Chains A and B, each alone.
Chain A
């Protein structure tokens, strides 16, 4: 990326922030529509998430008594900035021009930030529901984060690189990791569902127990930004899973000319993220919320165990086949 103008276009317009914003809202719509149809409802029109976003931006911002306004305003923005930055390192239409060794780890850390921000918001809100929700969200973070990280790092282990783009290239040469590491793929999907706090992992914002958890005191643009953060996290998460496990935007063979490769890559990206969305929406519809102690049991006994087994299998495969 030598040309600063094309770099700016990449970051700001396509496939950068503008596209990300629109695609995030589109995925939010699709998620709601799919869930609605599965539940025999009509569901929202396609512009509903956008309309909601605009409406909430225009609403009054209410400060709960005794809350530090500056931090309360800044926290949602930090969360949004973190996930948007993470997006830049993920291959969308071809490999990311910003890729470097270790961007996988950076992306994973940036994606954890919204949860920390939620905890912070819950703590700052001076509201019992928010506080319980905030505590639940970090408790949950400690449960799903370990298996999620392990599941996403095992492809790196096999490909011998810490760069998402290079993992994609490795898959182009060999095979998709979903076939090589099916356990890891399933764990990554479960972890993503938990990270996005969707049913059955919507424990921190369980509306029938603690109103909206950390979200309770968020109003107006704070709520809008936080909602957008979750929608953007969805895009980033599904794109990450698509890149690491489903071969990203690259075809198994070279596509020429260059512009055609970009178009094909973009459609592959769309198809793969939509596939991930379909799976996650189905999980959301098919389950109820589990309890935090049940999640603790399931998470540490089975999911973490399975991810360690996956790491073991990969080490054996590396020894016998990949680096033999």
Chain B
């Protein structure tokens, strides 16, 4: 058969996100993939430069609907480090609890989506029902299901009452049972095995070469987790393990995520049971000293990095957000080659893409009314010339 271009997205039932794939297929085999990412550039970074730190945090939460706590924690953590603040342990623990609950609901959501793209809607419905338990817990603690608003520079905004702690602990056994069920299902459910095994293979070398992060890297046997390698919050105190897998395919990524569900549950339980007493915040100064910092955070999808440059005022001079999805994109294009068209959605879904969070730059030619792409060299050249212009006058 001749090569055919199947254009998937930005409006497509498989993708709930604005992205366009031009998939070149030969019959049912994928020959090559062309990506168009930036449909939803929201200018978050620019907006962050115009607000003081207190007002940047809610903005950071809105970078992503799933990992909202990740973004605000990564930002707050960076600013606190610049200000050299010592955060009280109780605040660290509360942040950790929310972070791990967020990871659990993100992974449960992902499992549902992965099941849905292979047409296995029963699992999709089940995991999303169980996810409600996690969301209820978060809602009880913070008052919100999605944007928790727990962080502030210097600690957290809300304390956990003993009643909230007990209620959360009571929810855990049921959740534990469900997760056990999913652990069983992923290794025994035939319909998942035949669709996940050997699909979207990524070797350890490739995973390292293309700079993958998070569950995508760990499924290829790369033992890399910011929580372990560069501990922050309460992760150094809590006993837990990094989950890795050697399969390197969608099956491996599923196993890693389900294993992480298990670990997250352990962390949440430990933190709830050993919640230290004390205050939940310290008063932060208004301004941050001049400096640069790279704040790393293990979001549910992988390592999230916030680069922050401050200039001694109460605003950031520059904040740059590198989401895990951006780091994982290249690996998708590699995984897809020679795979079946039917496997495209599941391979794309396997990195748990979050595209609106990833959109950082859009090239727009106003006269020609066209958007385009730019090579790395051109980008560097343009940045240089811009800096020089800034220096010149």
Contact = CB atoms under 8 A, between A and B. Distances in A.
A208 B117 CA distance: 5
Given A287-B120, A289-B120, A40 B6 contact: no
B88 interface: no
B126 A39 contact: yes
Q: How large is the interface on B (under 10, 10 to 19, 20 to 34, 35 or more residues)?
A: 20 to 34
Contacts of B341: 132, 209-210
B13 interface: yes
Contacts of B4: 128
B308 interface: no
Contact of B194 (A41, A209, A294): A294
A285 interface: yes
B191 A211 contact: no
B342 A211 contact: no
B6 A128 contact: yes
A106 interface: no
B6 A208 contact: no
B14 A209 contact: yes
B345 interface: yes
Given A208-B345, A211-B12, A293-B340, A288 B192 contact: yes
B91 interface: no
B28 A289 contact: no
B13 A208 contact: yes
Contact of A207 (B14, B194, B342): B14
Interface residues of A, number: 27
B192 to A, nearest CB: 7
Interface string B111-130: 00001111111110110010
Given A132-B341, A200-B191, A294-B194, A289 B125 contact: no
Interface string B325-346: 0000000000000001111110
Contact of A39 (B28, B125, B195): B125
Contacts of A211: 12-13
B179 to A, nearest CB: 17
B14 A208 contact: yes
Contacts of A238: none
A199 B125 CA distance: 15
Contacts of B117: 208
Contacts of A38: 122
Given A208-B116, A288-B192, A290-B194, 16 more contacts: A38-B122, A39-B122, A39-B125, A41-B125, A132-B341, A199-B120, A199-B121, A202-B119, A208-B14, A286-B191, A287-B120, A287-B191, A288-B191, A289-B119, A291-B194, A291-B343
14 contacts: A40-B125, A40-B126, A128-B6, A200-B191, A203-B342, A206-B119, A209-B14, A209-B345, A287-B120, A288-B119, A288-B123, A289-B119, A291-B343, A294-B194
The 7 closest A-B pairs by CB, nearest first: A288-B120, A289-B119, A39-B125, A208-B14, A288-B191, A288-B118, A208-B117
